[in-house]
Structures are given as structure tokens and as C-alpha cells.
Amino acid sequence: MVNQKPTFKHDEIKYTVERVLSNAFELKASSNSQTTSLVLRLIPETNGDVTLTFATSIPLPHNPIDRISTLIFSSHLKTSYKKILTKLSNYYRLVKNLYGIDIKESNVQVEFITTQAETFSHYPSVKEIYSLIDQVKSYVRNQGGAETGLPMLHISKLNPGQFFTQIGIPTDKQLSDFKTIKSKRMLKGGHILTAEVVGNRLKIREAKKQMEFYIQDQNKVTVAISYEYLITNRVEQPDSNKWVTQLYFPII
């Protein structure tokens, strides 16, 4: 079965996507007996914006009747192009429509976190993650500290069979270190990207990928490891599709 080319209709003009290039789309526009080829180009600007342009060339026939018909078709195309570009601009002006998640730039609110890290030979289970969390929570209480936020999680694959896992608990003060438990001071007020995700690990992974695209597109640089703010207690909520997670990427 031959795959059908994507099409859409606007102002009685049918557009067919003939080819997708790295920064452009080659299309065919047709209305009644008139057909022409055109290119929709995406031109990145230095400020992070993207300029959209339509380009087409329509030769005018010598026959007067055909010439008038072609001029009318050309006029309709021009009007249609303007409307399409306006709609695209209005739609993709919203970050959520462009990346699929509502990415926001904010500032670090946490000043101190108490962390513990462990490298697993497999992707850590929810039980293993919360075992680390409970250990740190117990240590914070024993040291006279108080929790000021929800657990934070970072997992990265080092090598095949090696998953570096770090959890953190925001605290009201910096505590003393003990073995694998470390107290760290955050750059309070520093810049971060945030986005909320509802769903399982696959949803979270895709959201992180989109945030990395955003960082590239906006010429930002990550300055520390990203982490997940575990809004949902994953032990109490076994249905991963209902997990609510806030993603954080420290940037400059």
C-alpha cells in the first residue's frame, strides 16, 4: 500500500506536502485546473526566532483567458499564504504548541538540599528510589533539619548496566555530611527551566527531550544536572500514568 502524502485545504486551495527537507517543506497547491509548486521555508534567526516564508513562481501564459485565470489563481494564493502564515505564527508562538509541554523559565527557590547517590546495575525501581529517599529524610530529622520541599530525583545511564541515581531533599539549612549523604548549597535565584508532566517514564523522557530541544533553540546552556521534582508519591500511586512530575533544568 502506497503511503498517501499529507494534504490540507485552505481557501478552496488544496495543499499537498511533496517533500520534507531539513528547514523547508516542498508543497503543491491546486485549485480547479490550476496547479503550482511552492516552498515553505523555516529560517532560524540569531535571536532564537524563526521566520516563515512561502515562495513560488507561476509563469504567465500567452493566452489572454489563461493569463487572467492564472492571475486570479495567483491572487488567491497570495491571500491564502498570508492567512496560513498568520495562523502558523499565532499557533507556534505558544511554547506548549511548539514543544508539546509548557516550558517556563524561572528561578531556583531551594537553597539547601541533602542528597544521597547510588549506582545500580539496572534502572532503579520505585521501591529502591524511595528507600534512598526515606534514608535521607530520616537523616534530616536526626540532624534537626526540616524538609522544605518534595523529593528530587536524577537518574542517568553511565554505561550499559550502570544507572547513576541521586535523590535530594530540600532542607531549611545546610547539614553535615555523613558517608554517602551530602548536604549541598544551591544557587538560589539562579535560572532554571521548568515543565510539569503527567505520565510514566516514557512521557517524562519525551518531555526532557523537548526541553533539551528548547535549550538548543534558545541558545541556552545547562550548568548542572537536571532533576525531577516528585509531586506524586510513586509508592502510594502505583499507576504511573497518573504520576505528576515537575522537571527542572538549571541553565544560563
pLDDT category at 53 given cuts 50, 70, 90 is very high
pLDDT tens digit string along 178-187?
999 999 999 8
Per-residue cell: 17: 506536502
Per-chain mean pLDDT for the chain? 93
Q: What is the pLDDT of residue 50?
A: 78
Domains and CATH numbers, the chain: 7-93 (3.10.450), 104-250 (3.20.80.10)
pLDDT tens digit string along 67-112?
999 999 999 999 999 999 999 888 888 889 889 999 999 999 999 9
Q: What is the pLDDT of residue 45?
A: 74
Q: What is the pLDDT of residue 23?
A: 84
Q: Is the pLDDT confidence value at 214 over 70?
A: yes
Residues 156-168: what's their mean pLDDT? Answer: 95
Residues 10-31: what's their mean pLDDT? Answer: 93
pTM over 0.85: no
Q: Is the pLDDT confidence value at 228 over 80?
A: yes
Q: What is the pLDDT of residue 2?
A: 55
Percent of the chain with pLDDT over 70: 98
CA distance 173 to 156: 27
Q: What is the pLDDT of residue 48?
A: 63
Q: Is the pLDDT confidence value at 10 over 70?
A: yes
CA 162 from chain center: how many Å? 26
pLDDT tens digit string along 127-136?
999 999 999 9
Q: Are 211 and 204 a contacting pair, CB within 8 Å?
A: no
CA distance 36 to 217: 33
Q: What is the pLDDT of residue 149?
A: 96
Please return the burial class of 98, using the count of CB atoms within 10 Å of its CB with bins 0-12, 13-18 and 19+.
Answer: middle
Q: Is the pLDDT confidence value at 224 over 80?
A: yes
Per-residue cell: 105: 523559565
Beta bridge partners of 26: 19, 39
DSSP string, 124-136: PPHHHHHHHHHHH
Q: Is the pLDDT confidence value at 168 over 80?
A: yes
Between 91 and 205, name the one with better pLDDT. 205
